Every structure is written in structure tokens, then in C-alpha cells.
A = this chain, B = another copy of it.
């Protein structure tokens, strides 16, 4: 059992935020390079309506590609995001190994995103999760907007915990809290995850954070302090909208791994390779991306000179 799990979501959460549709070949190359860094899970896409999100239109093609014997990635799980039953069907048809799905803790966000109130969305997601578990595949369910909502502002913690409890009651153990709007602050992150882990220590808590207000790594450390050992992040910090003042996206994978390696965790991950992929992304998009250490380099290891 690894002491920390890194789930790279840049190919999905990162690229879906870009206006530019990245060609399938480029995605395949990045996924291969990311797989070589030693991260544990790579989210390859989202089974969403391609008309609504052309950036994710090749998700089935990607999974089919990597399902072929000659292209299989070693020691990597490929995850796919599904929003509804149709997406789940598509994912099942192209060999997805791990399904990610979620319910928003904000009524407004839930209605805007799914057309359903939270209660209805929860029932459907639980049914979908059970169907995945029944097929023997891995499922992760997230509470979106768990730390605050761009439409509603504060989200009561009881609301988040009550959703988590419903998931747990239905046998779902792999649960992510997602800071969709980037509103999380460290004490809140520690308190919420702490409450979940205290109530059921067998929960596999996952943390999905955005760095919108510069608090991404502080929140990451707070989650770690609370006992979270599984983190979602995007190479180069992709995932922010490039057309707003608030450019920061997901916590950058290489920044997060850098912090944890300095804390003597997951030294098996090849940080230099992660940094190289981040640099490629910055070159590809021809702009500075939000990640820090692909620009500054790592904290230097100097052999003492006196």
C-alpha cells in the first residue's frame, strides 16, 4: 500500500477548461509521459455530450486506444468521469477501469450542472455507483462545491457530511471532496475531512483542490493533516479559465508532489518528468501556466560545502 495516492486529472479537468481542443495524439503522448512519472491514476476524459464539450469528444477513442494490449499502460489506472447513465454506458463499452462521478452540495450548482436538485442527483449517482460496483470496477464519488460555491457562497458543512453519509450507507468507500470554486480554507478542509475520517476511519478520502485564491497547497497540507492520503491534481496547474483574472486552476501535480517529496513521501515519483510535462504544456498553450516549480525549479539539494 502506497503512503499517498496521486490522481492526475489534468487531461480531463485541465483540458476541458481550455478553449483550444487538444488533438487525440497530443493527449495520448501526455498520458504516456504522465504514466511514466509514477503517478497512480490518470483521468483520461469525461463522458459528456461532445456537442457541449468538444474538448472531451475523444474520450471513448482514448480509452479504446489504451485498452488495446499493445498500448496498455503499466501500473496505472485510467479513470473516466461520468455525469449520467449514458456516460456510464459509454465508459463501460470502452474499458474504463475506474469511474468518477459526483453530486454538488450546492442546489444552484446542481441545477445548473445537471438540471436536477441535489436529492434527485444523489439518488441517480448512488444507483450508478452501485451498478459500477456490481460490475467489479472501481468507483469514486465526489461532493462537488464541498467548500463553497461560486453561485451560493458558503455551503453548510452538515450538508456535505450528510451527502457523504448517504454514500457510505450505500457501500461507497472512495469519497472525494472537491473544491470546485476554489473557496476552501485550511481549517475548513481539516475540519470536514477530520469529521468524515472520525465517523468512519475506513473511508478512502480523496481531496480535489483548486488554487483559485492561492490556497491550494495550504489546503492540501490541511487535508493531509486530517488524514487524507489521496489527492487529485493537474500537471502545470491546468484547469483555470484562461480568460478571467482568476487564472489558477487545479493544484499543480508537480507542486504537490514536490511538497510531499520534501516531506519524504512518494520519493518514487519522478518529479523531473512531471516538471518536463508541465513545461511541454506551457509551450503547447504558449502561455505561462499557474504551476510554480516548473518555472522556479525544485528546492535545491546542496551538499554541504563547509
Question: What residues of chain A have their CB less than 8 Å away from a CB belonging to chain B?
Answer: 107-108, 148-154, 182-183, 185-188, 212-215, 217-218, 220-222, 225, 245-246, 248, 255, 258-259, 262-263, 292-293, 295-306
Contacts and interface: CB of A to CB of B under 8 A. Distances in A.
A215 B186 CA distance: 13
A186 B152 contact: no
Contacts of A259: 185-186, 215, 218
Contacts of A258: 213
Main secondary structure of the interface of A (DSSP, over half): loop
Contacts of A221: 186, 218, 221-222
Contacts of A299: 148, 182-183, 185, 212-213
Given A185-B259, A218-B259, A225-B225, A213 B296 contact: yes
A263 B225 CA distance: 16
Contacts of A296: 212-214, 245-246, 248
A108 B188 CA distance: 41
A305 B151 CA distance: 8
Contacts of A300: 150, 153
Contact of A297 (B152, B222, B245, B262): B245
